[in-house]
Amino acid sequence: MGCNPDKQTKVDKDKIVFTTDDASRLFFKNVRRIYYELEVMEAAKLDIYRHKQRDLSTEAPVINLAIVDNWRYDEAYLLLEPNEVIGKQNELTVQWELGEENGEIIYTPGNKTTQVAFTDKLYDRLQQGCRFKLQINNNWVSFLDSDKSREAFRVTMFDYYRLVKRI
């Protein structure tokens, strides 16, 4: 499980927490860190991890995730990093589709809780095998449609969930 995080693990969507402990942080740093690039923010005393296999496309919409380790306070956060195609929008609307079922996931930029709540919903639908479209300037564009982007998103979420002990 250390090298290939489980693809079927379900997460309790009602339990958003940010607390880490020595054991979860040590596991992440000793086993999972090799899959991430590290940015150290000395002044803020934060370590930011970005998956090495994330989608760096500048032609398709991408929302990469960064895991922010606030080790001073034993907390970790998720940071949404939309690329330039998405830009800075007041709201992100994602359509999901699975067979005859469909729906929307809406994200209004906010605090650490709203970021995790949004990514929780995306992760849950990704685990179900949904296809996604993102609204950009009144157009619907395929989103999280490559294996690379889906897997980087999934693995980052799984590692984050393990770091904050949600799985």
Q: What is the mean pLDDT of residues 152-165?
A: 96
For 150, the enclosing helix (H) or strand (E) is helix 147-163
Q: Could you give the CA distance from residue 131 to residue 88 in angstroms, rounded to a whole number?
A: 23
Structure confidence at residue 8 (pLDDT): 63
pLDDT of 159 above 60: yes
- Tell me if 39 is assigned to some domain: yes
- Tell me if 2 is assigned to some domain: no
| pLDDT classification of 9: cutoffs 50, 70, 90 | low
Among 133, 103, 120, smallest CA distance to 160 is for: 120
- Tell me if 112 is assigned to some domain: yes
Residues 6 or more apart whose Cβ sits within 8 Å of residue 78: 65, 66, 67, 68, 112, 115, 116, 119, 157, 160
| pLDDT classification of 110: cutoffs 50, 70, 90 | confident
- Tell me if 145 is assigned to some domain: yes
Q: What is the mean pLDDT of residues 88-113?
A: 93
- Tell me if 115 is assigned to some domain: yes
- Tell me if 84 is assigned to some domain: yes
- Tell me if 38 is assigned to some domain: yes
Structural domains counted in the chain: 1
Among 9, 10, 6, 13, smallest CA distance to 120 is for: 13
- Tell me if 9 is assigned to some domain: no
Q: Could you give the CA distance from residue 69 to residue 83 in angstroms, rounded to a whole number?
A: 22
**Whole domain around residue 138: which residue ranges?**
22-163
- pLDDT tens readout for residues 37-54: 999 999 999 999 999 999
Q: Could you give the CA distance from residue 127 to residue 158 in angstroms, rounded to a whole number?
A: 11
